[in-house]
A and B are shown apart, each in its own frame.
Chain A
Amino acid sequence: MSDSTQDERIKDISPLRQALVRPELGSIAGAIIVFLFFGFLAFDSGMFSPRGVLNWSTVSAQFMIIAVGACLLMIAGEFDLSVGSMIGFAGMMIAIFSVTLQWPVWTSICVTFVLCIALGALNGYIVIRTGLPSFIVTLAFLFILRGFTIFFPQLIERKTIIGGVSDAADGDWLASLFGGKVGEPVFVWLADLGLIDVFERGSRAGQPVVDGIPALILWAIGLVIFGHFVLTRTRFGNWIFASGGDAQAARYAGVPVNRVKILMFMFSAFCACVFATCQVMEFGSAGADRGLLKEFEAIIAVVIGGALLTGGYGSVIGAALGALIFGVVQQGLFFAGVESSLFRVFLGVLLLAAVILNTYIRRIITGEK
């Protein structure tokens, strides 16, 4: 082998093939297709009016928040199936603390965050100490947390929905960070210019139909930027890839794999808690069935985003686009007047296609046959 000449056996690879190896590619293509599709199918239905945009971007943002946590955890080589139950549990705890126990809402939110992150750490600790697959350990927590979420409100209030959080949260500084809206004056101004419709009758007559960006969307964007930054630009990000790629090799190279994994379980729980808090503040109540199936939706968004189920490879931007596809299709079918049960059929097909594509890409990267 000579010093600088190109090895004659290294074939030039096409830019397409090079781009294909980027994990986001599939989801970028998917997002474009989905927008084109609904652009034709549902353009007149109001899907792309300010109100329609707000509708599907809110739904997408919900998926994004939990997808970021699931994405980093999956790249670190683990799953968290307890996300959905954690959402229900966190919401219920906030309601019990603030309504039943009459704590200030900001205290309730803080205590709930601490509790959920601690449960995430416990998930991670059990996985690390026992060496069991995280699939099984978090499946156990899926049932444990859901059970408590139904049990506590029945024990205390004899019902499974606790309302009245809105009244308690009125004027609370921390609650507005999750349930508030941003940019109202801008939207009023846009309405004055005639760019946004105003309500024509009812109690809000004269106000713009879209009067601000929900805090939920800002949380989603913030978490995506944070996750992407940590994963690609920091030393810790390299450790996340290494821990999921081959935990033993990473350990031998001095990467604190256990710490990385436990922290990612905690982050996943944090994301679930953000989701739950936003939801409780929006609805003003907590229900025992909240967050059902969210763990799978998060994982599907991450897989559509190009991450490998086996860990070590993926992208937060991809997962965010996966969540966007998810939200746009779910709401788009509604706008287009398609039977909503077909959404599940679509989801299954999309998941299968994404996994097959990812497996193919993995072969390209690793040169496996």
Chain B
Amino acid sequence: MDPLFEMQDVEKHFGTVIALGGVNFSVSEGECHCLLGDNGAGKSTLIKTMSGVHAPTSGRLLMRGQEVRFEDPRQAISQGIATVYQDLAMIPLMSVSRNFFMGNEPIKRRFGFNLFDHEQADKVTMDEMRKMGINLRGPHQAVGTLSGGERQTVAIARAVYFGAKVLILDEPTSALGVRQTANVLATVDRVRKNGIAVVFITHNVRHALAVGDRFTVLNRGKTLGTANKGEITPEELQDLMAGGQELVELESSLGGTV
């Protein structure tokens, strides 16, 4: 299948620091492509380049084979690239309904004014939450009262509702408990089956293997290669992420628990 979204030889420099030094990455419809990397590998920079926060220093971004350039996140969103950030997905003090439509408020015209259509927003929010299996007390419940997993799920539901074709998930499971992680991974699976291309960023190999179709490892700003599901073992992935040798030694001294 032709990739829906592709990055070719993308580099990003910040002054004298080379944050990304040649990244090749692609994702197709209905595929979950896991991007693994340790802290400092350049994951955050890569996400921000994909989502239009940073413009790449060199290299190309392709959407359905056409080269695209994003000046800001809005342009990326309008092309169907949505990003769910780990801790910046939602605003805790605002209601679920207000959060869900943040930046995309439904409008109704009354007396010549463009008003926020609260009824429509509340209705859609409740419907979408029910589909995702989240029980709300009401659309005006503050996001702050939801668990971390539920917040990620709301953010994913929001991105999908607003027409995301490529969904970038920034460590959606890293701060979650076992049960919440399972819920989020189930959501990712459901979204993928609807034909959305999912980029799943994590440093947890087990979470990646649970839902991933392909795996790419990022280390020191470069992609080290891509493997398909079933072609790679958790240990190999772990070693690649850590950059090889040291972890092998560390692992043996820890008795294989890392």
Which residues from chain A sit less than 8 Å from chain B, CB to CB?
1-7, 10, 13, 21, 233-235, 237-239, 241-242, 245-246, 248-255, 308, 312-313, 362, 365-368
Q: Are A249 and B93 in contact (CB under 8 A)?
A: no
- A contact residues around B74 at 8 Å (CB): 254
> CB of B209 within 8 A of chain A?
no
Docked pose: A252 CA to B103 CA in angstroms: 9
Complex Cα distance A312/B103, Å? 15
The answer to whether A234 and B85 have CB atoms under 8 Å apart is: no
Q: Chain A's nearest CB lies how many Å from the CB of B143?
A: 8
Nearest first, the 8 closest Cβ-Cβ pairs linking A and B are A366-B144, A245-B91, A254-B103, A235-B105, A253-B103, A249-B88, A7-B135, A367-B145
**Can you list 12 A-B pairs, Cβ within 8 angstroms, ordered by A?**
A1-B133, A1-B183, A233-B115, A237-B116, A238-B102, A242-B103, A245-B94, A250-B102, A252-B73, A254-B104, A365-B144, A366-B145
How many B residues touch the partner, as a band? 35 or more
Q: Which of B35-88 contact A (CB under 8 A)?
A: 51, 53, 73-74, 77, 83, 85, 88
B142 (CB) vs chain A CBs: closest residue: A365
Check if B114 is an interface residue, CB within 8 A of chain A: yes
CA distance A250 to B98 in the complex (A): 12
A219, chain B: closest CB distance, angstroms? 21
B102 A242 Cβ-Cβ under 8 A: yes
Interface pair A234/B116, CB less than 8 Å apart: yes
Query: In the complex, A238→B105 CA distance in Å?
Result: 8
Indicate if the CB atoms of B93 and A255 lie closer than 8 Å: no
Cβ-defined contact, B116 with A313, below 8 A: no
Nearest-neighbor residue (CB-CB) of B98 within chain A: A238
Determine whether the beta carbon of B91 is less than 8 Å from that of A3: no
Expressed in whole angstroms, the minimum distance between the Cβ of A95 and any Cβ of chain B is 37
Say whether, besides A235-B114, A254-B74, A367-B145, A246 and B101 are in contact (CB < 8 Å): no
Query: Are B130 and A3 in contact, CB atoms less than 8 angstroms apart?
Result: yes
In Å, the complex CA distance between A242 and B255 comes to 48
Q: In this assembly, does B211 line the interface, its C-beta being within 8 Å of a C-beta of chain A? A: no
Complex contacts, A245 vs chain B, CB 8 Å: 91-94
Q: State which residues 84-120 of B face A: CB under 8 Å.
A: 85, 88-94, 98, 101-105, 107, 113-116, 118
Are B115 and A234 in touch, CB under 8 angstroms?
A: yes
Chain A residue numbers with a CB within 8 Å of B115 are: 233-234
Partner pick for B142 among A10, A249, A366, CB 8 A cutoff: A366
Choose from B85, B105, B113, B144 the contact partner of A249 (Cβ within 8 Å): B85
Contact of A366 among B88, B93, B105, B183 (CB under 8 A): B93
Q: Which residue of B lies closest to A232 (CB)?
A: B116
A203 to B111, CA, bound (A): 48
Q: Which A residues are in CB contact (< 8 Å) with B135?
A: 1, 5-7, 10
Residues from chain A with Cβ under 8 Å of B93 in the complex? 241, 245, 308, 312-313, 362, 365-366
Tell me which residues across on chain B come within 8 A of A252, comparing CB atoms. 51, 53, 73, 83, 85, 88
Given A1-B183, A242-B91, A253-B102, 4 other A-B residues pairs in contact with their CB atoms under 8 A: A233-B115, A252-B88, A365-B92, A366-B142
Q: Tell me the complex Cα distance, A7–B146, Å.
A: 12
From B74, B102, B104, name the one whose CB has the most chain A CB atoms within 10 angstroms: B102
Please state if B145 and A365 are interface contacts (CB–CB under 8 Å). yes
Q: Closest chain B residue to A4 by CB distance?
A: B130
Contacts of A237 in B (CB 8 A): 116
B208–chain A nearest beta-carbon distance, Å:
23
Q: Which of A3, A241, A246, A313 contacts B133 (CB 8 A)?
A: A3
